[in-house]
Amino acid sequence: MERRIGLRARTDFRVVAKNGTLAARCRGIEISPSGIVIDRGHAIVDRDRPLIVGLEMNLPERLRPLMALARPIWSFGSQQAFKFVRISDVDRLTLAEHLDLLRLRGVPLN
């Protein structure tokens, strides 16, 4: 059973996932105001499954990155889904605006 809340869309932007002193450059491939799916570029291993990850999301239409704390939900191959556990209201609104821009560009929202 799938449980999804709110709109989500396919996208493509740079994400830096930080776990303590480790940082990994990834691609954001699906986004919603409540979470993100990233592609790590390699198969997920145990060190890629911490309890909480700091995410820097670099949306193409923004100069500064959006910051969030997130927890892993699932992983498959090189893709990993996260649910935001701490994100500012301003950054959450920015994600909603990014979804609106994607819709205007013709990207289907689910």
Q: Evaluate if residue 33 carries a pLDDT over 60.
A: yes
Which residue would you say has higher pLDDT here, 102 or 80? 80
In this prediction, residue 1 carries a pLDDT of 37
9-104 has which CATH code? 2.40.10.220
Question: How many CB atoms are located within 10 Å of the residue 66 CB?
Answer: 21
| Percent of the chain predicted with pLDDT > 70 | 89
- Give residue limits of the domains in the chain: 9-104
pTM for this one? 0.86
State the average pLDDT over residues 21-36: 92
DSSP string over 49-82: --S-EEEEEE-TT-SSPEEEEEEEEEEETTEEEE
Residue 107 Cα to chain centre, angstroms: 17
